[in-house]
Amino acid sequence: MNFKFFKTHGLGNDFVVFFNQDLKISTKLISFLSNRKKGIGCDLVVFVKESKNNYSDLVARFFNADGSEAEICGNALRCIGKYYFKNNRKKNISIETNSGLIDVEKYNENMIAVDLGRPKKKWNEIPISMDINPQNLGIKLKYLEGGLSVNIGNPHVIFFVTELTKKKLEEDSKKIINGNLFPEGVNVSAVKVISRNEIKVMTFERGVGLTDACGSGASASVFASCKMNYCDTKVKVSMVGGDLDVEITKDEHILIVGDAMEVFEGNVNLEEFV
């Protein structure tokens, strides 16, 4: 009943990863594993298996701390890639996710690059519950106003602020997530523009809460900043956990480049969950 896992993080956004382990996934299991006092502790639990098809190398599923499933996680994809590259000779792999195929590449000895593809910009692709302009949602709360929404494999809404404040972001994010505008939930990011090539971002993730870093949140923030003509297409995104390089290519693919750190490997007894 002991299952092997490894603990890893991308800029402080941490994950418990099971590789080629057959587990019965349940909300109870995810809640136990992600609990920082009774379990191992993480923002997301990730299950990875080697692919049996001829168009991908790996298949990955991502589960938030509350047990809900996420379509994708940019930081976790870097962590999976680094772990796989360490144990295999490949320098480029394709990972199948609920959001489609994602290319992951070994950028150098420490950095991993992820191509998150083209963002979805239509209201029904994000999705939003009504036909309104995703680039100006007209949200008016105490801290967050306006709102530009986009799907980077998962739904995001971006707000531009003059100062990043955790408490205010948390309060307003809960109102947005618990509201009716985003039927599948949404990740909420507050962005402070520093220059044409740098922004600071803080993200409240659905099913998790405030995190030290969010790869797709950083990507959505750069996309929104470019749309508003606040930034160029190559931007350093500073978050609590560290910096991530984000680039929007000419064909509107979003690339992220950053480090991924393996913390430890271990075995966990899951007898009561099998």
Question: Does residue 231 have an active-site annotation?
Answer: no
- Which value, to the nearest 10 degrees, does the dihedral of the CA atoms of residues 242, 78, 100, 188 take? -20
Encoded amino acid at 230, one letter: Y
Q: Which of 73, 79, 226, 231 is catalytic?
A: 73
Strand (E) positions, the chain? 2-10, 13-19, 44-50, 58-64, 69-70, 92-97, 100-106, 111-115, 139-140, 145-146, 148-151, 155-160, 187-195, 198-205, 209-211, 234-239, 242-248, 254-259, 261-269
Q: Which of 42, 79, 214, 231 is catalytic?
A: 214
Alpha-carbon distance 177 to 175, whole Å?
6
Question: Does residue 73 have an active-site annotation?
Answer: yes
Alpha-carbon distance 27 to 30, whole Å?
5
Asked if 176 and 201 count as a contact pair (C-beta separation under 8 A), the reply is: no
Residue 92, Cβ neighbours under 10 Å: how many? Answer: 12
Q: Which amino acids are annotated catalytic?
A: 73, 214
